[in-house]
C-alpha cells in the first residue's frame, strides 16, 4: 500500500513550518515521525495534497525541567520521553505510559507532539496528559498560545489547533511524589488500548483519565470527586464509566468497555494509593 500522491516540502525551523502551512493552506499536513499519519494516508483515510515534513526541526526535541513543570518539545520521540531521567523523576506516569506506546520500532520514530496532535481517543498519551493537567503550546502566524489538555480534543481526531498552528511544546506539571498507576487492556502487546486508565493520587488530590471511552480522551471527574469526598477506591472506581460514550467494535461492546473502565480504574488507583 502506498499513499496517494502528494507534494513534499521540508521545514528546517518552526517559523518555516508555519510559513509553509500558511502558503499551502488546509490541504497540507505536518508530518513528524509519521506513525499516526502515514497509516491513515496508506488507507486513504487522509489525503493531504502537501506534506510539510517537520521531522528535522531539531530545536523542538527536548525535555527540560522548567520549575513547576517539565517542558517537552513536541518533536521529542517516544523513546526519548520514555528514557528521560527528568521525566522519570518528575512525571513518571508519562514516562511509563510512553513505554507502552506501540513497540520499540514505533517509539524510535513517533513523537509525543504527533501523538497528541493526532487527537486519537484510543492513544495513550492524550489521556495521560489530560490526567496530569498538561498544557499544550501552539505556535501560529500571530505567535504562541496555550491550550489546556482538557480543551484540546474537540471530537474524534479533531483538536483545537487551527490549520495554521503547530503544536510546539507539552508542559506537564511535576507530580511531586504522587502515586500513580497506568492500566492498558489490549489483546495483543502492541495494540491500541481497548480501554486504558491513567491515574495519580497525592494527599487529597487525584487525577484520572480514560483511553478509548469516547470520541475524545475523558476525565473521570466523578471518580475524582468521590475520592475527594472520602470514598474508597473501590466505590469511587464504580463511577468511572459515568458520563462516557464508548463505541462498540470487534474487540468490545459498550457494556464491556464500561466494565473495563471501572475495573481498570480500581486497579490503577489501587497502585497509585499503595
Partner 1 sequence: MNVTLTINGTAHTYDLEPRTLLVQLIREHAGLTGTNIGCDTSSCGACSVHLDGEAVKSCTLLAVQADGADVTTIEGMASADGTMHPVQQAFMDEHGLQCGFCTPGMVMAASSLLAENPSPTDEDVRIGLEGNLCRCTGYHNIVKAVLTASGADQ
| CA-closest candidate to residue 164, choices 182, 193, 138 | 138
H or E segment at 8? strand 7-10
Distance, in Å, from the CA atom of 209 to the CA atom of 97, rounded to the nearest integer, reads: 13
Beta-strand (E) ranges in 190-272? 195-202, 205-211, 218-219
Helices (H), 14-159: 14-24, 37-42, 78-82, 85-90, 92-98, 104-109, 112-118, 124-131, 149-152
| Distance of closest approach, residue 126 Cβ to partner 1, in angstroms | 19
- Which residue in 22, 25, 104, 243 binds partner 1 (CB under 8 A)? 104
Give Cα 3 distance to the centre of its chain: 25
Nearer to partner 1 among residue 34 and residue 133 (C-beta): 34
Region binding partner 1 by CB under 8 A among candidate stretches 28-36, 118-126, 143-151, 157-165? 28-36
**By the rule CB under 8 A, 5 interacts with partner 1:** yes
- Which residue in 53, 65, 89, 270 binds partner 1 (CB under 8 A)? 53
Region binding partner 1 by CB under 8 A among candidate stretches 17-25, 34-42, 157-165, 206-214? 34-42
Q: Are 72 and 112 in contact (CB under 8 A)?
A: yes
Give Cα 219 distance to the centre of its chain: 13
**By the rule CB under 8 A, 39 interacts with partner 1:** yes
| Distance of closest approach, residue 53 Cβ to partner 1, in angstroms | 7
| Distance of closest approach, residue 81 Cβ to partner 1, in angstroms | 15
- Which residue in 23, 190, 232, 253 binds partner 1 (CB under 8 A)? 190
What is the contact surface with partner 1 in residues (CB under 8 A)?
1-8, 10, 31, 34-35, 38-39, 42, 51, 53, 55, 79, 102-106, 108-109, 189-190
Amino acid at each position: 500500500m502506498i499513499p496517494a500522491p502528494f507534494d513534499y516540502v521540508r521545514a528546517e525551523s518552526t517559523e518555516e513550518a508555519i510559513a509553509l502551512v500558511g502558503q499551502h493552506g488546509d490541504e497540507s499536513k505536518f508530518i513528524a515521525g509519521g506513525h499516526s499519519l502515514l497509516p491513515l494516508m496508506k488507507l486513504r483515510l487522509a489525503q493531504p495534497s502537501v506534506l510539510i515534513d517537520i521531522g528535522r526541526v531539531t530545536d523542538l526535541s527536548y525535555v527540560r525541567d522548567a520549575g513547576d513543570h517539565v517542558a517537552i518539545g513536541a518533536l521529542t520521540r517516544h523513546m526519548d520521553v520514555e528514557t528521560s531521567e527528568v521525566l522519570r523523576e518528575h512525571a513518571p506516569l508519562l514516562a511509563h505510559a510512553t513505554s507502552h506506546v506501540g513497540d520499540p520500532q514505533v517509539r524510535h520514530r513517533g513523537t509525543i507532539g504527533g501523538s497528541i496532535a493526532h487527537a486519537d481517543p484510543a492513544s495513550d498519551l492524550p489521556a495521560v496528559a489530560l490526567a496530569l493537567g498538561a498544557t499544550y503550546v501552539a505556535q501560529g502566524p500571530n505567535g504562541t498560545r496555550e491550550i489546556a489538555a482538557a480543551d484540546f480534543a474537540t471530537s474524534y481526531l479533531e483538536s483545537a489547533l487551527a490549520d495554521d498552528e503547530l503544536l510546539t511544546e507539552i508542559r506537564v506539571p511535576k507530580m511531586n511524589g504522587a502515586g500513580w498507576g497506568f492500566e492498558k487492556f489490549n489483546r495483543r502487546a502492541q495494540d491500541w488500548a481497548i480501554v486504558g486508565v491513567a491515574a495519580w493520587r497525592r494527599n487529597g488530590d487525584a487525577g484520572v483519565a480514560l483511553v478509548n471511552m469516547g470520541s475524545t480522551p475523558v476525565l473521570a471527574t466523578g471518580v475524582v470527586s468521590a475520592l475527594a469526598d472520602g470514598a474508597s477506591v473501590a466505590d469511587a472506581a464504580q463511577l468511572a464509566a459515568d458520563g462516557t460514550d464508548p463505541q462498540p467494535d470487534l474487540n468490545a461492546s459498550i457494556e464491556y468497555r464500561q466494565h473495563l473502565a471501572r475495573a481498570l480504574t480500581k486497579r490503577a488507583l489501587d497502585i497509585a494509593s499503595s
